């Protein structure tokens, strides 16, 4: 017990000493490069008859997870952990309404440590504020628990290495909960590429772009401003995963290719600054503060095999939500965003142009042709549980599919869809984009967290769920 406590204490101190704009020591990188390559690639644990989950952080994401996961076959929310009685009671009441077992309660700022040390759960679902993602995940793994952690899972190169090394040492899953992997369009694109319809993919674009300036208003308790606080103190892209991770899986990053380097540029902060001046009440404690985050961050990534990715981030500008999601191949292109509104309905405009179809690649296909392709190349997961997912909810169903898939894999003893190496590869970009911005968009090398194993790692297959083992 004490050794684990000492480990967590030492890692937290190390994390505090390594600033976001500080680099990883050359000798440390060299030592890590020399270790055995990626033992967690393809890792699978023994099948679990019942997956006992402990939820740490019962905010919006945590509460939504409690409601969804409690309906999944073979899954029990065995424990809940938060700092507030109201949040804990809401989770307990939800489970009671569903006639599910009452969870064990852990309350307090560091109560997650006791939960991670307990024998009550097998899996920790980490839906805490950003600054707690790494401490909770490390505590979970040191306690022998598999951990599923919300995005962004880690923000510095050093913390990403800690996540990788701890998962390897303890032989437990550490998966980033990137729900956008399981969006219908993202999975359609993956299937389309696997079928060779776009030809060879060489470029993609993704983003997390929308108006999030409301996070500075005075409607929330002080402790809920962790996201705003990060934007106040940091530049670069702190939230790369929604737009990026689906592209990485489709482009075989860490599975035959890897990110080589990234360059990043911030615009000036004008829109958020205007909102801070004109959109906040006079007594708002944040009025008059300045933010380091640029209104728009644009980054370019090049892979070892010569593919390129354009990645954007803004929560500062007045605009509708968009993840861009564009995939360019030698035979055509697909793109989803932005959505439009027709009448009272929000319409997903799937824009597709493929050589030999319609008028070729100079015009987007018409609605009928797009719908035919949409049905023909619908991903098996969406064919199997897509309608159920829409009923269960969670960002149009992709949250439910995400939870259904990881729980199914644990019950069947299968590898999870993404690994700790995927988590680290995308999380480290937070530090690297900030460093690039601070150095006139200098190119930053992306660490190879697989230590060369990406060269022989198999590509991700077309995944599904066997309904014979999945009964709701």
Tens digits of per-residue pLDDT, 425-447?
999 999 999 999 999 999 999 99
* Alpha-carbon dihedral angle through residues 231, 16, 63, 208, given to the nearest 10 degrees: 30
Helix (H, G, I), strand (E, B) or coil at 388: helix
What value, to the nearest 5°, has the Cα angle with vertex 123 and ends 122 and 128? 145
Distance, in Å, from the CA atom of 353 to the CA atom of 374, rounded to the nearest integer, reads: 13
Q: What is the pLDDT of residue 341?
A: 77
Q: Please state, in angstroms and rounded to a whole number, the distance separating the CA atoms of residues 305 and 378.
A: 28
Instruction: Say what the pLDDT of residue 361 is.
Output: 92
Nearest Cα to Cα of residue 79 among 115, 114, 129, 132: 115
Q: What is the pLDDT of residue 33?
A: 53
Distances from the Cα of 424 to the Cαs of 18, 148, 166, 295, 368, in angstroms? Answer: 16, 13, 12, 25, 41
Please report which residue ranges of 279-326 form alpha helices under DSSP H.
Answer: none
| Main-chain phi, psi angles of 436, to 5 degrees | -65, -45
What residues in the chain have per-residue pLDDT under 70?
Answer: 1-36, 472
Separation CA 409–CA 123 (nearest Å)? 13
> How many angstroms separate the CA atoms of 348 and 212, rounded?
21
List the domains of the chain with CATH numbers.
2-178+465-469 (3.40.50.720), 181-383+420-452 (3.30.360.10)
Q: Rounded mean pLDDT of the chain?
A: 91
Question: Could you give the C-alpha distances from 400 to 68, 93, 389, 415, in angstroms and in order?
Answer: 7, 20, 6, 19
Q: Quick check: bond before 297 cis, omega within 30? A: no
Whole-number Å distance between alpha carbons of 13 and 313? 30
What is d(CA 377, CA 332) in angstroms, rounded to the nearest whole number?
15
Q: What is the pLDDT of residues 201-213, one digit of tens each?
A: 999 999 999 999 9
Residue 127: partners with Cβ closer than 8 Å, 6 or more residues away: 55, 56, 57, 58, 59, 61, 62, 65, 150, 177
Place of tokens 């920790």: 124
d(CA 192, CA 376): 10
Tokens of 317: 């500008």
Q: How many CA atoms lie within 13 A of 102 on its CB side?
A: 5
DSSP state letter for 447: P
Q: Where are the alpha helices (DSSP H) in 34-110?
A: 60-69, 85-97
Instruction: Give the gyration radius of the chain's Cα atoms.
Output: 22
Q: According to the model, what pLDDT value does residue 342 have?
A: 75
Task: Give the single-character DSSP code of 257.
Answer: B
At residue 275, φ and ψ (nearest 5 deg) are: -65, -40
Residue whose C-alpha is closest to residue 463's, from 378, 380, 377 = 380
pLDDT computed for residue 329 by the predictor: 98
For residue 309, what are the β-bridge partners?
Answer: 204, 301
For position 32, what pLDDT does the model report? 65
Cα 314 to Cα 237: distance, rounded to the nearest angstrom: 8
Interacting residues of 205 by C-beta distance below 8 A, sequence separation 6+? 247, 309, 310, 311, 312, 324, 325, 326, 328, 335
Is residue 59 classed exposed, middle or buried when 0-12, 13-18 and 19+ CB atoms within 10 A define those classes?
middle
How many residues in total does the chain contain? 472
């Amino acid at each position: 017990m004490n050794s684990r406590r000492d480990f967590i204490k030492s890692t937290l101190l190390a994390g505090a000493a390594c600033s976001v704009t500080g680099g990883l020591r050359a000798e440390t990188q060299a030592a890590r490069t020399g270790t055995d390559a990626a033992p967690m690639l393809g890792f699978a644990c023994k099948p679990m008859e019942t997956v006992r989950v402990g939820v740490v952080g019962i905010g919006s994401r945590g509460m939504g997870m409690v409601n969804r996961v409690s309906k999944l076959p073979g899954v029990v929310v065995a424990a809940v952990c938060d700092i507030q009685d109201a949040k804990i009671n809401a989770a307990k009441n939800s489970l009671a309404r569903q006639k599910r077992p009452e969870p064990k309660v852990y309350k307090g700022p560091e109560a997650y440590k006791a939960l991670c040390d307990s024998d009550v759960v097998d899996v920790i679902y980490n839906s805490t504020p950003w600054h707690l993602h790494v401490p909770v995940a490390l505590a979970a793994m040191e306690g022998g628990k598999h951990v599923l952690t919300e995005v962004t899972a880690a923000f510095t190169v050093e913390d990403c290495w800690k996540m990788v090394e701890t998962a390897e040492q303890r032989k437990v899953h550490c998966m980033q909960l990137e729900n956008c992997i399981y969006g219908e369009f993202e999975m359609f694109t993956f299937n389309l590429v696997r079928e060779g319809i776009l030809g060879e993919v060489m470029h993609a674009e993704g983003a997390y772009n929308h108006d999030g300036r409301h996070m500075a208003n005075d409607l929330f308790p002080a402790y809920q401003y962790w996201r705003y606080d990060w934007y106040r103190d940091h530049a670069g892209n702190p939230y790369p995963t929604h737009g990026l991770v689906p592209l990485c899986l489709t482009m075989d990053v860490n599975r035959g290719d890897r990110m080589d380097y990234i360059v990043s540029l911030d615009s000036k902060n004008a829109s958020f600054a205007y909102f801070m001046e004109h959109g906040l009440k006079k007594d708002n404690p944040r009025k008059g503060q300045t933010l380091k985050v640029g209104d728009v961050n644009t980054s370019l990534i090049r892979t070892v095999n010569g593919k390129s990715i354009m990645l954007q981030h803004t929560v500062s500008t007045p605009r509708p939500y968009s993840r861009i999601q564009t995939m360019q191949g030698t035979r055509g292109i697909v793109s989803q965003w932005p959505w439009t509104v027709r009448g009272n309905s929000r319409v997903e405009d799937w824009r597709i142009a493929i050589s030999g179809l319609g008028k070729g690649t100079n015009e987007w296909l018409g609605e009928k042709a797009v719908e035919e392709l949409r049905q023909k190349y619908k991903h098996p997961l969406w064919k199997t549980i897509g309608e159920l997912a829409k009923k269960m909810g969670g960002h149009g169903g992709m949250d439910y599919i995400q939870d259904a898939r990881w729980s199914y894999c644990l019950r069947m003893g299968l590898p999870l869809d993404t690994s700790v190496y995927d988590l680290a590869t995308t999380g480290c970009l937070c530090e690297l984009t900030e460093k690039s911005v601070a150095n006139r968009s200098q190119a930053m090398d992306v660490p190879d967290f697989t230590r060369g194993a990406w060269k022989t790692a198999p590509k991700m297959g077309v995944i599904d769920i066997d309904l014979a083992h999945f009964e709701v």
